[in-house]
Structures are given as C-alpha cells and as structure tokens.
C-alpha cells in the first residue's frame, strides 16, 4: 500500500462517526471519497463527495466503479431502529440489514479484490458493542454481529495478500443518532468512564488500523467502549 496519495472510501461521511473519520484521514494526508446520500458536510481539496443510496445495490456498484484504485475502505454508514419482541419494526430491520450488512458486502466485493491484487489494503467496518445483544435492540444487534462474521471470514481470505479487515465497535457515541426519535424508547447507556465516546476517538483508532503499523491486526472486533464491556 503506497504511502503517497493514499485513497480511502468512507461511507456515511456527511455526519457522525463517518464524518469524523473522513476529516481525520484528510488531516493525515489521505485523499477521501465520501459515499453518502446526504449532502456533503466537508469542504477540502482532497475530498470528493459521491452521492449514493447505500440501501440500493445498483447505486453502490455505480459508485464503486467511479472510485478508481482504493487503498482503504471504511464503512461507517448506518441507522438504528429499536423495539422489543411484539413491536419489532420490520421495515427498519430490513433497512438496517441493507445498510449495515448488504452494503458492507457489496462495497467489499467491489473493492477488496483489487486491493489484494495490488498486494495491500485496509478495511474497517464500524460495528457496535450492542452486537453482543441488548434488550430492545435485537434487530440492530443481529446486523452488527453479522458484520463481525463477515469481517472475520474475509480477513482469512485476503490476509496473505496484505489486506487487513477489522471491525471497530463503539459503545454509546456522541452523535446525532442519539437524538433520533426512532430510538426514544431505548435510551443510551453511559459508559463507566462517565461520558459518551467521542467520534474523534473512533476516528483515531480507525486511522491507526488503516496505517502500515497495523499490518499484523486483522479479523478483529475492537471495542472502544469506555469500560462498558468490563464485568461490573
């Protein structure tokens, strides 16, 4: 993977964690292509906004075809829909599956083989600590658990060709998702550190996983949870 003009494709780059990651990479000298349906929130000479509805496979294929060579893929786009058994949001569940799992599969299928053919690349999927299971969030948890399974499976396939694939799983993070009315019935749990995780902290960890120094880390689900995963 070249250290010059490294090119990252970042989904969900218009807000929250995806935007923080894109901005962090730009500050490190990366060229970033932002994949998002929302209007771009970043103005930078090395940033290119690519409008794409990540719930639609044909749009993902078209967007990937326009990217050119990519050194890194970060899939940060996502939504949260909540509900206990008996009141599940089935439409929301389908949307989460398309955005979290199907989009990850389509992006990786389109971009990772070329990384492997060139002898190097990096992939990070943004997961969630909720993948371990949480009342009221079963559908969301299932999609994030599926992303971990995909990452671990694909990491083995491309490890010998210099490509790493990892998942970064935050606990409750200070993004607009916390104010989403769709999650009003399921309040976030404050981590033991006494505050929410900051998007910039997730961006810094992600950037490290994209760096040459992280070449020996692959197939891992890395929690950034403020102590939430520790036994009480």
Residues annotated as catalytic (active site), given as ranges:
140
Place of tokens 């799983």: 169
Instruction: Could you list the beta-strand ranges (E) of the chain.
Output: 7-11, 31-36, 47-51, 72-75, 121-126, 163-170, 221-224
Closest of 92, 79, 81, 100 to residue 182, by C-alpha:
81
Residues 170, 129: contact at Cβ < 8 Å? yes
CA–CA dist 210, 91 (Å, integer): 34
The CB-side HSE value for 145 (13 A sphere, CA atoms) comes to 11
DSSP states along 66-79: TT-S-SEEEE----
């Amino acid at each position: 993977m070249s250290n010059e003009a490294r090119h990252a494709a970042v989904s969900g780059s218009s807000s929250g964690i995806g935007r923080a990651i894109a901005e962090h990479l730009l500050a490190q000298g990366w060229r970033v292509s932002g994949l998002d349906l929302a209007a771009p929130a970043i103005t930078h000479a090395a940033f290119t906004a690519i409008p794409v509805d990540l719930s639609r496979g044909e749009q993902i294929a078209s967007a990937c075809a326009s990217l050119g060579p990519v050194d890194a893929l970060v899939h940060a786009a996502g939504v949260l829909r909540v509900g206990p058994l008996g009141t599940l949001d089935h439409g929301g569940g389908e949307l989460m599956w398309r955005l979290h799992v199907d989009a990850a599969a389509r992006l990786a299928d389109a971009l990772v083989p070329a990384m492997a053919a060139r002898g190097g690349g990096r992939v990070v999927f943004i997961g969630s600590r909720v993948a371990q299971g949480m009342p009221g969030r079963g559908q969301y948890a299932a999609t994030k658990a599926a992303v971990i399974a995909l990452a671990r499976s694909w990491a083995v396939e491309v490890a010998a060709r210099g490509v790493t694939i990892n998942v970064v799983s935050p606990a409750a993070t200070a993004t607009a998702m916390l104010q989403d009315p769709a999650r009003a019935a399921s309040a976030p749990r404050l981590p033991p550190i006494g505050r929410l995780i900051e998007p910039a902290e997730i961006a810094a960890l992600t950037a490290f996983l994209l760096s040459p120094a992280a070449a020996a880390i692959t197939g891992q689900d890395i929690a950034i949870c403020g102590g939430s995963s520790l036994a009480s």
